[in-house]
Each structure stands twice: as C-alpha cells, then as structure tokens.
Amino acid sequence: MLNPDGVYLGNYRCSLMGFDLNRHWQEPSPWVHPTLHAVKQLIVQLSQDAKVGLEFYIDVHAHSTMMNGFMYGNVFEEEERVQRQAVFPRLLCQNAPDFSFSNTSFNRDVVKAGTGRRFLGGLLDDMSYCYTLEVSFYSYMAAGSTAPVPYTEDTYMNLGRNVARTFLDYYRHNNFIDDNKPQTPNHINSTEVLSQGRQGNGVGNEKTFGGERGAERKNLGLKD
C-alpha cells in the first residue's frame, strides 16, 4: 500500500497532495512521494546485492472501466525477453477463472514511462519481470459464461490466492520446487505450459533461455 493518506481520504489514485503516485517513479521526492522514494531505494539496494535474486515486481491496481483481472507488461528489444515475460500471465490465466490473457497488454507508451512497471523494467536486469496486475472494480466474465459475475471480497481474495499458486507453478516448472523428487536441471517446454490455456492462448515454440544467473534460471519461451 503506497498511497495510505490518499486512500484514507477515499482516493484510489491520488495522494493527499494530489499526485498520481504511479507516474513519479523516475524521480520520486522524499517529501512529496515518500513511499515511492523509500520503495525505490529498497529495490535499487536489493538489485545491487549479489546475494539477492530480485525476480518479480508486481503492482496491484483497480481498473475503473474494464472487466476481469489482467496484466500490463513491458516491451523490450530482445525477443527472448519478450517471450519469457509472457510466461507468468499465461500460467495465471490457467489458475484464475477471472483472469484474462486476451486483455493483458505489453507496451512502452510514453505516457506510462513514470510507472513502477515501466521504470523498474528498465532498471532491473533481464531476468527480472515487472508487471501491473489490474483488477476490475466491478465484475468478470469467466470462460464460457454469458453474464458478468460481480466481484466480492471473497473473489478478490481468491485472485490473490491464485497469484500465489501461479508463483508455485512457475517455480515448479523451473525446477526450483519439486514435491516428489530432488531438483533436476530439466525444464518443461512451452507446450506443457499452454496445453491447458484459455481465452485464445496459443501453443508456443519450445525454447530455453539463459541469463547472467546461469542455467538454473532458464525460463520458458512462448510465441503469441
């Protein structure tokens, strides 16, 4: 929660001083944007610590017009990085009936340059993944349904649980977690990830990717 004073007043976007905090990540002021300034300093510190692998940054926002949960991600010049970035939202789509991969968007709009997702996507290394998770104020359409389902406190909490399950799946697929046997260097291919996909998720080409952190951090490559 980076906007406690604004939320206390009933705002959902602007702080007590009237700033949209998710537009000031580039140069946050310790006086005007103290929460952003503190979190940015912490993330920079962690990113420079050789003992820390900072792999995910996810903003959680409410959306006032669109339905369902969905994500915004970044666009990069490296095609492999673009493909790897699609893995987590595709896995989340399998776990959460209210999450829409078709509404998920990867962009680098100039107007979004000051967001946490955009700024940190440029700051962190290529094995870090930065997203905004947007969730409708109102309702969602599950696959095969004909009418929107209103969000409740319970269904919002279920989406949170499904995000946690998706982290579990992500690290299982990358063999950091194995319930039945010791960890091995083998990694599943993209067809296994997408075989149960919904909402138009296509099956991707099998690829493996390396990075500065070595073969243990290979990830899955996907083609839309």
The CA–CA distances, whole Å, from 58 to 39, 64, 188, 199 equal 13, 19, 24, 22
Q: What is the pLDDT of residue 144?
A: 82
Q: What is the pLDDT of residue 132?
A: 97
Mean pLDDT, 10 residues at a time, over the chain (224 residues)? 93 92 96 96 95 94 96 93 94 97 92 94 93 97 90 97 97 76 43 40 32 37 34
Indicate which residue of 27, 134, 206, 216 is catalytic. Answer: 134
Q: What is the pLDDT of residue 32?
A: 96
* DSSP label of 190: H
Crossing angle (nearest 10°) for helices 116-123 and 34-47: 20
The CA–CA distances, whole Å, from 95 to 60, 89, 98, 101, 221 equal 17, 10, 9, 12, 19
Strand 105-107 relative to strand 69-74: parallel, antiparallel, unpaired? parallel
Q: What is the pLDDT of residue 218?
A: 36
The reply to whether 134 belongs to the active site is yes
